[in-house]
Structure 1
């Protein structure tokens, strides 16, 4: 079985990093390593990571520090460069992996030697109707989150890349000093430019926070414009459909619902990230081996 490294860039993520790490640790197949790359956090992110490492002393969690410069791209690259697995999984510090994520990713790359990058659908753990959300996201990513010849674009909150593919493109990915691009799409287009195949798997499931919807409309639109900026930086690539149109259409409803649902969760004293995959962990019958 291929070894899967998990890379988690983190900046001021004290609220969710512990839940994120527990979901990464308690998997049907353990990760080869879990690298948290702190990028000069000013809150208690580092202390939260250290607390989880003390709680799970046998888990392969390592805390790295990328202090040379502020930014997601250099922090991601730092993590990728320090990883030692055959496959590099990358997601955000507020994401919760499904309990079989590592198993699914390892099998995907092992059974498909041509696959150099992979991604899958997501749902929101801090919103209602999670199964509907997952089906909707799966449909969007299958039909619109594509480049010109229907090539799969990777989603940074739920993606993996073969280590050999990263070594091939690591010096060519855009640095994006202006911070106006989607780093995951940029990486995808560099893979495609190098004739490295990207694939989609509905079994590679992750849950994310809907906190992006809790921003102002102008801020959300500015974030959506990153699609345009990224493709503008890659004039050799085009796309037939624009995923941001779907997201912009969904913004009003999600923007209204998110704070209301968060109030409900707070009133009921529910940690949505902690309970997200509880039923699946029971169904998978995972032994919490790290407590032994």
Structure 2
């Protein structure tokens, strides 16, 4: 029996995903069909994971809803993850803004049975616009928005036609994918907000499948409604979409040819694109009746198509250099990527803690604990990996924003869970919890909004959390660092700076913002203490010094002799499990 997997790749789909899942719950005529639903979270920073697991609790028993995490950013990687995780023979893709008709899964199944040589087949896609578009957008831009209605009858796409279905609402036979599609696609769409100007990774997949001998079909009985918000129709967003598609066009063209044909035909296509752009400019005086928007859209597409081969060469060289650096800096990155993905999927992150001890017992001081992230193994040993093991890979693949938010939310959940003895004990003892933030969070324009949302529901959180920032991540862009610290301090949170080494730049930063704590390596304490005292004297508010890496009694005594405020290290306490936490709040 043919098994159907419905895969929903999503990035920050918290607001859109519920509508798709509700449509899948309402699918009809599936009594004889075995199927499952996969949500493939592509490194989301919102509550996509939490939302999916909430749906899992009440999901119909006739099929399963599963959560998977695609650590590498981009639509191509999310689709690859779905193919690898799918149990079905047919993987039917829905974007998180695609609403399938009530019989969509049934129609996928029926078509797959009737056309065993169909390696992929696309849906009929209608546009559902938040704001009714002008006629020119509907006619000219609809195909680029994956709005496709190619007739009432099923028909095969032939290679000679140079037309293929879009990735939205596309069903793929898993055997065809594994036989023909490479593990790493060259094109990779990173979403509307990304500056990386590539698209058409769905066409790249389909060309590989078609060249291997599989058939590609249009199935009008599979109906999908594409939700299109008003901002996607804004001029700058439409032009950006056309630019991405145009810049990807040369690669799509060359894939259709044999290797020996590409050098000659590549030159031919460049000359043809140049000719088309020249004709466009020559006809401008004659095109007065066309709207300005229509003219600039055509120009953007023609110009991007002409520049495509040069852009793609630069993209290839850039990615090659990045991969060489990654291989050098994080040679085991594939191992750690799998570990991180597994941790998100199977709730294997956990938190440890280490006490930061006040050295001046004559003065009242808040109790301080630093929260430390660990990654559990999924075997019977339940051993843990330190963050220093997997964080280099997380940084390389832009996963640190997701991890930072997970830690903050988990600590907040534990502190303010009703009827929790653990939480009430810590609220009453007024412990301050230090949470490390990465450079990615410092540069994340939405992080302060995330904190603001938390404090609306948990206002006391500002008294219990202190965010620890790494000095090198702050000094790279002083203006952004100042804005970030001002934003989180405006919410009421305390700030600590770690890994102090560049006192001149740090002094410049502290002239614009105030922080509560500075952390300094105890091994260099004697040589830097005078600079620390100067920084303390220049601060408008009290500035506490924390000596870190206090690993033995001699270093502890040195910190006490210098009248340092706090000490942290193995001489004080070995990191202990804070509590084994679940991934979901």
Decide which structure has the larger Cα Rg and report it. 2
Q: Which of 145, 153, 160 pairs up with 2:171?
A: 160
Alignment of 1:31-50 (within 5 A): 32-50=35-53
Aligned to 2:392: none
CA distance in structure 2 between the partners assigned to 1:116 and 1:206 by the alignment: 20
Aligned to 1:169: 180
Deviation of the 1:22 alpha carbon: 1.7
> Is 1:232 the equivalent of 2:250?
yes
Partner SS, residue 165 of structure 1: helix
CA distance in structure 2 between the partners assigned to 1:195 and 1:50 by the alignment: 40
CA distance in structure 1 between the partners assigned to 2:113 and 2:162 by the alignment: 20
CA distance in structure 2 between the partners assigned to 1:152 and 1:120 by the alignment: 14
Aligned to 2:93: 90
Aligned to 1:79: 82
CA contact under 8 A between 2:150 and 2:218: conserved in structure 1? Answer: no
Q: Which of 195, 199, 209 pairs up with 1:181?
A: 199
CA RMSD of aligned residues (A): 3.4
Which one has more relative contact order, counting CA pairs under 8 Å at least 6 apart? 1
The structure-2 alpha-carbon separation of the partners of 1:128 and 1:216, relative to structure 1 and needing over 3 Å to count, comes to closer
CA contact under 8 A between 2:126 and 2:149: conserved in structure 1? Answer: no
For structure 1, which segment, 210-219 or 14-23, has the greater mean C-alpha deviation from structure 2 after superposition? 210-219
Unaligned runs of 5+ in 2: 133-137, 189-195, 258-268, 270-292, 298-585
The one-character-per-residue Cα deviations of 1:130-183 (angstroms, maximum 9, x if unpaired) are xxx89x8414899xxx77522651312110011110111232662436550211
Alignment of 1:244-263 (within 5 A): none
Deviation of the 1:206 alpha carbon: 0.5
Aligned to 1:268: none
Q: Which of 59, 64, 72 pairs up with 1:60?
A: 64
Partner SS, residue 37 of structure 2: strand
Aligned to 1:278: none
Aligned to 2:232: 214
The structure-2 alpha-carbon separation of the partners of 1:187 and 1:230, relative to structure 1 and needing over 3 Å to count, comes to farther
How many equivalent residue pairs? 238
**After TM superposition, where is structure 1 displaced by more than 6 Å over at least 4 residues in a row?**
none
CA distance in structure 2 between the partners assigned to 1:204 and 1:72 by the alignment: 22
Aligned to 1:16: 16
CA contact under 8 A between 1:152 and 1:200: conserved in structure 2? Answer: no
Partner SS, residue 15 of structure 1: coil
Deviation of the 1:31 alpha carbon: 5.7
Q: Which has the higher strand share?
A: 2
Deviation of the 1:65 alpha carbon: 1.1
CA contact under 8 A between 2:130 and 2:229: conserved in structure 1? Answer: no
* TM-score, normalised by the number of residues in structure 2: 0.37
CA distance in structure 1 between the partners assigned to 2:256 and 2:121 by the alignment: 19
CA distance in structure 2 between the partners assigned to 1:19 and 1:33 by the alignment: 17
